[in-house]
Amino acid sequence: MKKILMIALIAIAAISCNKDQKAVKKLDGEWKATKFIDADEPAVNYAAVIDIRVIFTECELKDDDYCTMTTKVTFDGDTQTETGLFKVSGDGTTMEFKGSDGTIETFEITELSKDEFKMSGDGDIYEFEKI
């Protein structure tokens, strides 16, 4: 009986890791924001005036590993580029970003396909399309 329970737990852990890894594979590449709604100004879609792009680098997730990413934000002809880290967890439903200063932001992945990526957190809404 103990062996059956152990095998079941290992199988559940493997399936969970596989869902996280599948999400990382879908994210691989460059994404352009089509919608960015700040909870403090819900009537404004900042993606209409600011070019926001995120480049996710595919990697093999292990327990608490992070993968690398680059963000490019262009506004009024000025582009700012930053590198950071991201992690997918919760069976592919949670996205965690770790900034260069060590701060961590957590978002809920509300949709992820090969062409669309949507997430939300603290009332903010982000929608991306793969380019």
Tell me, what CATH number does 16's domain have?
2.40.128.280
Please count the structural domains in the chain.
Answer: 1
pLDDT at 63: 64
Alpha-carbon gap, residue 122 to 111, rounded angstroms? 17
- Residue 5: pLDDT above 70? no
Instruction: For residue range 68-94, list pLDDT tens digits in order.
Output: 999 999 999 999 999 999 999 999 999
Instruction: For residue range 8-54, list pLDDT tens digits in order.
Output: 333 344 444 589 999 999 999 999 999 999 999 999 999 999 999 99
> Could you tell me if 64 and 83 are in contact, meaning their C-beta atoms sit under 8 angstroms apart?
no
Degrees to nearest 5, angle at CA 53 with 127 and 23: 60
- Write out the residue range of the structural domain in which residue 124 sits: 2-130
pLDDT at 7: 41
pLDDT at 60: 84
Shortest CA distance to 66 belongs to which of 109, 99, 26? 99
